[in-house]
């Protein structure tokens, strides 16, 4: 059975529109986090913040472990966006990163992280303290 090209083109366009509308259901929110980090070889971090999503604000808590060369302590205030979420709970999860840095006094910080649900955090801010690190780190974010 042959399908006329006009019908075939219309079906392809319909399938493409349905696919795009499903992908467009994912939304963007804004995030503010304050993270305290300290360590000597093995480090830890903890803190909290907020997610602003679809006109509501949700409290967040954050914590994690760093392993590698970690020395010192710092306070980092981050703000930015979280993309590819459908509901507030999508921001919750474990975000992993490998990195290196040095903060003496004040410094700038920027990072992009993804969790297992596909949420993408794009954050920047300032870091205060004395911290040197070359490490693997994980950050777990939960809704309070």
Instruction: Give the domain range for residue 105.
Output: 26-143
Which has more confidence, 103 or 18?
103
Q: What is the mean pLDDT of residues 59-88?
A: 89
Higher-confidence residue of 60 and 109: namely 60
54 located within any domain = yes
Question: Average pLDDT, stretch 45-52?
Answer: 95
Q: What pLDDT is stored for residue 15 in this prediction? A: 53
**pLDDT for residue 30:** 97
List all residues 6 or more positions away from 118 whose beta carbon is below 8 Å from its beta carbon.
84, 90
Q: Is 95 helix (H, G, I), strand (E, B) or coil?
A: strand
Q: Is residue 20 part of a domain?
A: no
In a domain, 3, yes or no: no
Looking at residue 40, what is its pLDDT?
83
| 121/92 Cα distance (integer angstroms) | 11
Domain annotation covers residue 18: no
* Burial of 70 from C-beta contacts in 10 A (0-12 / 13-18 / 19+): buried
Residue 8 lies in a domain: no
Is 102 within the bounds of a domain? yes
pLDDT reported for residue 23:
47
Write the pLDDT tens digit of every residue in 14-32: 555 544 444 456 899 999 9
Mean predicted lDDT score pLDDT of the chain: 80
- Run of H or E including 64: strand 56-85
What local confidence, expressed as pLDDT, does residue 20 receive? 44
Is residue 63, in this structure, part of any structural domain at all?
A: yes
* pLDDT over 70 at 102, yes or no: no
How many domains, in total, are found in the chain?
Answer: 1
**CATH code assigned at 126:** 2.40.128
Mean pLDDT of 93-107: 67
pLDDT at residue 2 greater than cutoff 60? no
Q: 14 lies in a domain?
A: no
């Amino acid at each position: 059975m042959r399908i006329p090209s006009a019908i075939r083109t219309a079906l392809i366009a319909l399938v493409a529109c349905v696919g795009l509308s499903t992908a467009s259901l994912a939304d963007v929110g804004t995030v503010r986090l304050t993270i305290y980090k300290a360590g000597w070889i093995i480090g830890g971090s903890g803190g909290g913040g907020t997610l602003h999503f679809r006109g509501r604000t949700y409290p967040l808590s954050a914590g994690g472990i760093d392993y590698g060369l970690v020395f010192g302590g710092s306070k980092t205030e981050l703000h930015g966006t979280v993309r590819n979420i459908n509901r507030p709970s999508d921001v919750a999860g474990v975000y992993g990163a490998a990195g290196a840095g040095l903060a003496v006094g004040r410094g700038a910080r920027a990072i992009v992280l993804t969790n297992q649900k596909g949420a993408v955090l794009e954050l920047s801010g300032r870091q205060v303290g004395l911290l040197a690190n070359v490490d693997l780190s994980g950050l777990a974010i939960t809704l309070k």
